[in-house]
A and B are shown apart, each in its own frame.
Chain A
Amino acid sequence: MAQATRFPYPEEIVIPKELEGWEEMYPSVRLFQKEREPWDKLHFWFQDKIHASEPLYPLDDIFQEAWQIALSQYTTRVFTIPPAQGVAQRILGCYMYITPVEAPPPEVIQAKVETFTKRVPWVIENFDKLLWGLWIEKFKKLGEELKALNVPTELPMCVPDTEIFPQTLGYTDAYRLIEAWNTAISLIFKSWQLHFEYLNITYLSYVMFLDVARKLFPGIKDSTLGTMLAGAQADMFRPDEELCKLARSAHARPAVADILKSDAPAETKIMNLRQFDSGLAWLEELEKAKDPWFYVSCGGGWFHHEGSWITQMDVPFAYLKSYIERLEKGETIERAYDAISAERERIVGEYRALIKTDEDRKSFDDAYKTIRTIYRFAEDHIFWVEHWMHTIWFGKVRAFGTLLKKRGVIDDVEDIFLFNKFEVPELIQDVATAWALGEGVPTRGEHWKAIAQKRKRILEAAGKWVPAPAIGNPPTEVAEPFIISLWGVQTDTVAQWLSGAGLKAEEVTELKGFASSTGIAEGPARVLMLASDIPTLKEGEIMIVPSTSPSWAPVFTKVKAAVTDIGGIASHAAIVCREYNLPAVTGTMNATSVIKTGDTVRVDGTSGKVTILKRA
């Protein structure tokens, strides 16, 4: 059978009938549409498994919309990376596909070179001493603003006296609701604008450094390049560091440790700890650590249903229990930061010494300095945006959800996420109007609830459907730096997709992915799809997951290796594994469907191969 040379077009894809009506869930610009068909067909669309590995909840789509603009604008309009343009998105059957926009005309490229040359070196030179500090300041202010946003969670029979005396306010909760929603949308949107402020430059620097190293040392492994950048004191690792500190503090107080080791819900443990002095002291330490570090998501931060440590205290408490038990066994629970840094220094130093000419060595030093300066942005921004900010956002949205539920337009607080950002104002409007009109005035509650129910069913069905990995004709070149290093789309990837669903899962004995974190390990595999299951991983197991999250860091010192479905070597999954010295192969595409829990696997993070040695 001849190998397919292209992927299906949108109209050729058969969407299961259980998904009927899915188009209504998203704003029309998000879908493949007739007017844009000629342009759409020129492009190669692939499923974005990093940010949208699950069917998209309408309101969660706001992040995707926001990054389409943010990522693209810095490339096209701000730092003007010459031959690159933005990354476009389309939703099909509740899954999101993306494509890099082709290069602009030569005159535009030339003009972009000028602004690029003027702006980018300046950013890199000033990143450390000026821009990073400013970014953090700007961002924290934004998050605090969202945190402080007052969302009415119920509407009174009559406004309180405080809104009349000593002077009349002039507006009510009806207005507040609408304004609050607009503010929330603006703030979350702006946070994504900031998210990309330096990210494009960071990835470009990264890709440039890889290039330089590969020219000097043809055949140098990706995993080796990763080690040259490891050992960062990034905010992303603070949540785990705080847990380690809390665990050690508890370990030093036997009464506290005993409670934390017990099998009880976090709430119960907290209640018990309140009963005595050292317990109270420990709880105070816990409080201090919570903001911002416990805002870390239990997953990647993209889906409202993942939860975070601050809303699901059982998760960090499960990690604490495990840490205390390991401390009692005499184990080290912290990541080997010093060792990782020392190893990085050794590796870079030795390769540097092997460079043959002084000129090349100087160029290498320069390239390395460039990436080392700005690399922390890649690691840090994730915590502040996808974790801290998103957790605050979800909390605020749930406040709106609480109100909508109380006013009878949705059945469940979570159902608010079934409406997209253009629709929620309508529900709010409906509620505000009915309230303003007085007692006994109906809303379209029945209507909204029916929509919510239908969409729940559609999303469930979409979850059972395996969408096409890509749409359209494969490209011949890629200029956009993210596509290669973050999404990991390269020749191999596309060829693998093209060769399609040839083998059955049971027949596969070897998987290839990115050699993201050096080292080889063998052991029993544990396939985990739910973030809430992560703390149950056992010592010496090998985790097989769709992707990784910094909130899972506490298990990284327990497990032997990690294998992920998605992510290139600059992806989050890869970075975290390197920082924890955990051998890892990322971007295998389908590890979680091919490997079964109990299989014995061999993970070669040095060469990017996973071998299934024995089936369970």
Chain B
Amino acid sequence: MECKCVYWLEEIGQEHNNLVGKKCANLGELTKAGFRVPPGFSLSVDAYARFMNESGAKADVMKYLRSFSADPHSLDDTLKFQKASEDIRGIVESKQMPADMETTVREHYSTLCGRCCCEDAPVAARSAGPVSHPGQYETYLNVKGADEVVRNIVRVWASTFNTRSIIARARLSLPVEYDPIGVAVLAMVDAKAAGVMFSLNPVNGDESKVSIEGNWGLGEAVVSGSINPDRFLVDKVMLQIEERTISRKDMEFAYNEITGEMEYRELPEELKTAPCLEDKEVLELARIAKKVEAYFKCPQDSEWVISRSLPFPDNTFLVQTRPESVWAKKEKVSVLGQKTGMQMLIEKATTPTKLDFG
């Protein structure tokens, strides 16, 4: 079965959700729109299908599942699913990518290294599900070298069989052996600081603000919610920083050169209480959030990274964006109550202001 399995981000856009998964499609769209996104490529959903079919992974998994039974609705059977997940992931990870696909991947990686001016550029391999798709799959960071890239792509595919996802599919009576996803292979930014931002105030839904949260090191620390981040509230219209909460940040998520692993490690004392972003970086991020919202025509939930090795403003990257989902669902209500200017004037004239001295 022929498929174009590997796409540069520049080649894809919003309309390709089902082709390469939503994350890749969005990153492609952002790249096309001129936002600073780390360079990268994506493997299509069809690549997953090809791999699973041609390597025999799907057949082997189905064989395994025939002798597996457990109740996805029962908490007691969770351990069974856990074991099954380990086994199945083991099966998948042992398989080889189809040869021509692997060649294409290696070629793309080589080009990517050229673009990053770096031999063995570190990349992140991220799962990218299509629109309606349950489960949150793995991301592998700091992958270096073509061999590792190929291996980790397979690992991402294998992560569709993580415990909670197979339970979820089983509950929904979806095929457990098969959950096609895309994979994004993105150059990793040498992160000074990273985090998330909303192009509205997530506390009260105020769309005139941008809310930015960040920590030193990689964004995982903020996204996972395991660290108290610095928080900035910026007025979107005036582009002024209105609120600043600098937290005590004890740890950062970063790459350990020695072990070759990503880890949480303690920050030096002076960085714990220092703001992870300079004011100009906060404002640049806010500008980006404003532009992204304007581009997608709705409030966005984005992830950003500040590179340590590039000058401002080239150092400000967008690594993810999606429509904000909490306030978007809420009904938009009028707060003024359909009043005319005159009615409001009369109302104001008839209502004294309370002074509260507490």
Contacts and interface: CB of A to CB of B under 8 A. Distances in A.
Contact of B355 (A81, A364, A478): A478
B344 A363 contact: yes
B341 interface: yes
B335 interface: yes
Given A356-B207, A356-B332, A494-B357, A367 B344 contact: yes
B242 A208 contact: no
A359 interface: yes
A124 interface: yes
A113 B351 CA distance: 11
Contact of A495 (B237, B242, B350, B357): B357
Secondary structure at the A interface, as helix, strand, loop or mixed, is helix
A357 interface: yes
A490 B238 contact: no
What band does the interface of chain A fall in when counting residues whose beta carbon is under 8 Å from B? 35 or more
Interface centre among A117, A205, A208, A369 (most CB of B within 10 A): A208
B236 A350 contact: yes
Contacts of B356: 476, 491
B348 A476 contact: no
What band does the interface of chain B fall in when counting residues whose beta carbon is under 8 Å from A? 35 or more
Interface centre among A117, A474, A518 (most CB of B within 10 A): A117
B342 interface: yes
Given A218-B204, A351-B237, A478-B355, A363 B340 contact: yes
Contacts of B348: 204, 207-208, 211, 481
Contact of A364 (B208, B235, B336, B345): B336
Interface string B322-358: 0000000000111111111110111111111111110
B286 to A, nearest CB: 13
Contact of A103 (B352, B354, B355): B352
Given A476-B354, A476-B355, A477-B354, A367 B341 contact: yes
A208 B342 CA distance: 10
Contacts of A208: 341, 344-345, 347-349
Nearest to B243: A219
A221 B235 contact: yes
Contacts of A369: 341
A24 to B, nearest CB: 36
B206 interface: yes
Contacts of A220: 208, 235
Contact of A360 (B237, B334, B346): B334
Contact of B340 (A81, A83, A351, A366): A366
B349 A81 contact: yes
B176 to A, nearest CB: 43
A490 B357 CA distance: 10
A215 interface: yes
Given A83-B352, A354-B208, A491-B355, A204 B336 contact: no
Given A351-B208, A370-B345, A216 B237 contact: no
Contacts of B238: 221, 224, 227, 347, 518, 606
17 contacts: A120-B342, A120-B346, A219-B209, A221-B240, A221-B242, A224-B237, A347-B237, A356-B332, A362-B338, A363-B334, A367-B341, A367-B344, A475-B355, A477-B355, A478-B355, A491-B355, A494-B355
Interface of B: 204, 206-209, 235-238, 240, 242, 332-342, 344-357
